[in-house]
Chain A
Amino acid sequence: MTIFSIVLRSLRQHALSCAVTSASVALAGGLLLTVWVVKTQSQAAFTGINGGFDAVLGARGSQLQLVLNAVFHLEASPGNVVWQDFLDLQNNPDVELAVPLAVGDNFHGWRIVGTTPDLFQKSEYAPGKKFELRPGGNWFDPARRSAVVGSFVAEKMKLKVGDRFHPFHGLIYDEQRQHAETYVVVGMLKPSNTPADRVIWIPLEGVQRMSGHHAGADTEISAVLVKLKAGSALAGFQLENYYNKQGNHLTFAWPIGRVIAELFDKVGWFDRVLTLVAWLVAFVATGSILASIYNSINERRRELAILRALGARRTTVFSVIVLEAATISAIGVALGFGVYAVLISVVTEIIRSQTGVVLEPFASNPVMFWEPAAFIVLGACAGIIPACKAYRTDVANNLGPYS
């Protein structure tokens, strides 16, 4: 009979307390895994998403707000850009592609964005990947009130080709602010796992000339997505200098990844708080292992004395208790992956529905290797104090009555 089989029998004897402490470790482990994976994956996903563009040009204001508005379709637009500014940028020899965007309307809370067909036909949202339509659909006709619906919106609003809808004014749904125009769904995007999935795309002129928009809206846009020519390494610096330092009415957010990284720097404290909470939960769970085994030692003194009387060394008894604590932790870690699967599924869906960004929660991540090891080591450490108590068990006094 090995030490491990002695441990398993002991766990079997104390199944209830073992289950409760394992569950607390599982909760802590699942929480820590979730926080860590969401942190690393969302940072990688958000900083990696640029829609295939290098920069965003918009009204004077926050670069972060500009990027969130134009690339992630979050936040309000910081202001408008006049059409001539768009043309100037489009004609810059270092610019490969400039795509105008106009925002300001919604359909039941889903953002309606006006743009040109260039967004779908000339750009790649990721290297080698262009937006594609589901079978039976078409790109919108700039001269008609037609719309292409992102895959997530189509799924949530159950829209299909041929459906008609009225846009609502503003970025927040208010049923009192319905526009008179009727749009026809002519196509639905295949899922791209980008924020574009959460948008209803209509021709740029549609937003510019929507009834109820302010006078002059037809010559203004909200932002310009900019792709610089490959090889023009200094173009980004030059345009940033031109718009941000020499100019005074526009903002050039470049590069997009750096702007988003700054966001994560700003909210880094939140990550750290969550991580700290997860580690605190882990320490509490470890403490519960310590307490449950420590308390059980009193009722197990006789059992330990019998083991010693049969020839088990003090170090063997010590090892049994430490291994028992580590095993409870290991069981908790294994169950923790189940907790993680549940938590991460919920969080991934929330992030997807709020931003369109899809995380890959089950992709390999270093935390999935070091977290189980750390928890098992912590568990084993929690076993040391009760193991010392077991180590000191007086054999003769605990074996039973003296005849």
Chain B
Amino acid sequence: METLRQPLLQISGLQKSFAAPAGGRHRIVSVAEFSLTAGLQLALAGESGSGKTTFLHLIAGILQPDAGTIHFNGEPVSTFSESQRDRFRARNLGYIFQTFNLLPGYTCLENVLLGMSFGPGVDRGRAQQLLERVGLGDRLQHRPQQLSTGQQQRVAVARALANRPKLVLADEPTGNLDRKNSRAALALIREACREDGAALLLVSHDAELLGQFDQVSDFSQINQTVHLEEIA
């Protein structure tokens, strides 16, 4: 039944390269075809340096591809102007980073509110509800540095869901956590995405984490630049 649905994310011919320090360019991403159905949870397995983060940045519109198209809900995101991509990201995506990227000067509640500020608008009640859902209802006014690493990750999860995203991108979300916290964090991310109806695209090299997903794809099969390809 899943395959009959309209893909949420449709990528074709995607390419991205960067200038190499020694001259020339390195192609980091070369994805011929990739799609993700709405509400689906997919893990991409890949080694460090395989271009996973760049791939997620391209989907998020943080980076602009050299070639290829990205369609999100039928809209050609890859042709958007920068401000359109900012708007797209603020309204449709949640992003969980390996290092959480919480703002240290903001409280937990303010960090979550920030996740809504540039998109649908601030909803203080929802922000509190999200923090309660991730077990931090009594830490609303704490700053990130007053929390444990696991708690910080939970704030990051709440922030990623704050704008009711259609897709959550998670880049090694448990990379900084111990095994116990790692399992708990992943369970929380998956459950929260499921409850909110958001698709989840997670990249990791952690075999145990990947083992918890029903659908896992090998990123090296998707990204055809297995080794950094030097372009003349």
Chain A contact residues, CB within 8 Å of chain B: 1-2, 6, 9-10, 12-13, 302-303, 306-316, 395-396, 399-403
Contact = CB atoms under 8 A, between A and B. Distances in A.
Contacts of B87: 311, 313
B98 A311 contact: no
A1 B110 contact: yes
Contacts of A9: 105-106, 110
B29 to A, nearest CB: 12
B218 to A, nearest CB: 15
Chain A interface SS verdict (over half): helix
A36 to B, nearest CB: 38
A403 B95 CA distance: 14
Interface stretch (B111-119, B209-217, B222-230): B111-119
Chain B interface SS verdict (over half): mixed
Contacts of A403: 48, 52-53, 98, 171-172, 175, 203-205
Interface of B: 48-49, 52-54, 57, 60, 62-63, 82-83, 86-87, 89-91, 95, 97-99, 101, 103-106, 110, 113-119, 122, 159, 163, 171-172, 175, 203-205
Contact of A400 (B83, B90, B99, B159): B99
B110 A10 contact: no
A314 B62 CA distance: 12
Contact of B83 (A10, A306, A314): A314
B203 A309 contact: no
B101 A313 contact: no
A194 B175 CA distance: 80
A1 to B, nearest CB: 4
A246 to B, nearest CB: 81
A10 B115 contact: no
Residue from A1, A310, A316 with most neighbouring chain B CB atoms (10 Å):
A310
Contact of B101 (A1, A2, A13, A306): A306
18 contacts: A1-B114, A1-B116, A1-B122, A12-B105, A303-B105, A309-B62, A310-B115, A311-B91, A311-B118, A313-B118, A315-B83, A400-B101, A402-B49, A403-B48, A403-B52, A403-B98, A403-B175, A403-B203
Contacts of A306: 101, 103
Contact of B118 (A310, A401, A402): A310
Contacts of B116: 1
B89 A309 contact: yes
B53 A10 contact: no
A353 to B, nearest CB: 50
A171 to B, nearest CB: 65
B84 to A, nearest CB: 10
Given A1-B122, A303-B103, A396-B63, A313 B86 contact: yes
Given A311-B89, A400-B101, A403-B48, 16 more contacts: A9-B110, A13-B104, A303-B103, A311-B86, A311-B90, A311-B119, A312-B86, A313-B82, A313-B83, A314-B83, A314-B86, A396-B54, A399-B97, A400-B98, A400-B99, A403-B171
A205 to B, nearest CB: 80
A401 B98 contact: yes
Contacts of A315: 83
A101 to B, nearest CB: 70
B99 A401 contact: yes
Given A9-B105, A310-B90, A401-B99, A396 B62 contact: yes
A309 B95 contact: yes
Given A309-B60, A310-B90, A403-B203, A316 B118 contact: yes
Contacts of B54: 396, 402
Residue from B97, B119, B204 with most neighbouring chain A CB atoms (10 Å):
B97
B53 A402 contact: yes
Contacts of A12: 105
Contacts of A6: 114, 117
Contacts of A303: 103, 105
A297 B83 CA distance: 22
A399 B90 contact: no
Contacts of A396: 54, 57, 62-63
B101 A309 contact: yes
A194 B20 CA distance: 81
A132 B98 CA distance: 84
B63 to A, nearest CB: 5
Residue from A2, A307, A401 with most neighbouring chain B CB atoms (10 Å):
A401
A309 B88 CA distance: 11
Contacts of A402: 49, 53-54
Contacts of B98: 400-401, 403
A-B pairs with the 7 shortest C-beta distances? A311-B90, A311-B118, A13-B105, A400-B99, A1-B117, A403-B172, A402-B53
